[in-house]
Structure 1
Amino acid sequence: MKLLDRRTFLGASAAAALVLHRPTALAGPSQTVWTFDNLQRIGGHAARLEGQPRLVASPWGKAVAFDGREDAIFIDNHPLAGADTFTFEAVFRPDGGAFEQRWFHLESAEQPPVDPGKGNTRILFEIRVVRDEWYLDAFVKGPGYSQVLIVPEKLFPTKKWYHVAQTYDGTTYRAYVDGQLQAEAAIAFKAQGAGRASIGTRMNRVNYFNGAVREARFTHAALQPAEFSRP
């Protein structure tokens, strides 16, 4: 199965940049792309800034950089709302800093309303930084399920660009770095509701991110690694 507006990320040596390939768009599952190349609108949604996120260069054009202290972007949209199965991808560059960094947070609005970050339904990309290396932490939580995917032994150098993904295929939740499986677990996921997103920090403004984000893709289907990245 081919992706709608598929990108292929080719890993290279430490001295080489990643290459972005864009084949012709084909029909497929519902998919949304957020490109972080400006500070006004992301994926067609208004971007609400805190601190001073700034535009920087990436191998594919502009990206948004965060300082790890107070920079954040908030968007009133949960692009995976209603998805029974999903793929959540992002292209980012972790630059080191604090041990815990929660850098991409999707959250459903709840009734009665709760403060941002305090709800019980969310999907998160996080990292843990150990000196000049990092490892991935993917997390999903909702009614009847709560699962973290984290392997501290699988470390990667900071200050490089990476493709990360998390998927759910109806039975199994998985996390990847550059197309390589990091961890998996069986969960009873249920589709999440409409809500919001934060980038650069957790929704309740803790564990800020030091690094840059170029792009995120949200697909209402579980993709295979060959469909979203080639290290």
Structure 2
Amino acid sequence: MFDRLENIGGHRTTVLGQPRVIDSPVGKAVEFDGVDDALFIDNHPLAGAETFTWEAVFRPDGGQTEQRWFHLSEQDPTGADTANRMLFELRVAGDQWCLDSYHQSGTESKALLNRKSLHPLGVWYHVATVYDAKELRNYVDGVQEGAAQVHLAPHGPGRSSVGVRINKVFYFKGAVHLARFTRKALSPSEFLTPPVFHRKG
């Protein structure tokens, strides 16, 4: 739950810029300005997972064309980020957006981006990426948008960033309400929220 800045899910955060906790129709959330706001979290919640479901409830508000709004990064023993990563990204097209889910593990990588599946900005959405050890899939409000066969080895320990890519580029304009990480492939009927989550504000 994104209802505070000093820690998320019991993990310590580093705050960049001035993200703020807001009240919204879906509950407390952290809002980012798309310029220099971000949270870095000392945890990679899917490290070691062979299968997984990554869910989030968020509100995109516009901003730059490409945004990396949730990044899970593996780190090596020295604490440096490796190339292994999982991301929720978005692309803004006018007053609409589309979801981009990117995953890399070793030499294997896959981006799920359906530019034809556009959604209005300024609305709360549930998004999910699911991996069953054979196929990677992504969803918006319970509706599948992309899928690809890929072999993704489990990540090692690491850290996360919310509101920006881990190397502090492609800042996010909008808000994040919550995230859930499950170490198995869930069906849409098992997702955290109802498939239709369109609430403004």
TM-score band, normalised by shorter chain: over 0.9
1:10-51: CA deviation from partner (whole Å, max 9, x where unpaired): xxxxxxxxxxxxxxxxxxxxxxxxx00111111001121000
Corresponding residue for residue 56 of structure 2: 90
* 1:53-64 mapped onto 2 (5 Å cutoff): 53-64=19-30
Select the structure that is richer in strand.
2
Residue 50 of structure 1 aligns to which amino acid in structure 2? L
Larger radius of gyration: 1
Partner Cα separation in structure 2 for residue 207 and residue 120 of structure 1: 17
Query: After TM superposition, which residue ranges in structure 1, 4 or more long, deviate above 4 angstroms?
Result: none
Identity level (%):
52
Mark the runs of 5 or more structure 2 residues left unpaired by the alignment: 197-201
Aligned residues: 194
Q: Does 1:78 align with 2:44?
A: yes
TM-score (structure 2 length as normaliser): 0.94
2:53–2:181: 8 Å Cα contact kept in structure 1?
yes
**Cα offset, 1:111, TM superposition:** 4.3
SS of the equivalent of 1:87 reads strand
Partner of 1:164: 127
1:145 aligns with 2:111: no
Q: Is the 8 A contact 2:126 2:195 kept in 1?
A: no
Deviation (angstroms), 1:144? 2.9
Do residues 213 (structure 1) and 179 (structure 2) align? no
Q: Does structure 1 residue 52 correspond to structure 2 residue 15?
A: no
1:224 and 2:187 matched:
yes
Indicate the residue corresponding to 1:199 in structure 2. Answer: 162
- Whole-Å separation in 2 of the counterparts to 1:92 and 1:47: 19
Backbone CA RMSD of aligned residues: 1.0
- Aligned pair partner of 2:94 in 121, 126, 131: 131
CA distance in 1: counterparts of 2:34 and 2:79, whole angstroms? 28
1:90/1:164 contact within 8 Å kept: yes
Aligned-partner SS, 2:189 = helix
Map 1:5-24 → 2, pairs under 5 A: none
Partner of 2:73: 107
Alpha carbons 1:144, 1:188 under 8 Å: kept: no
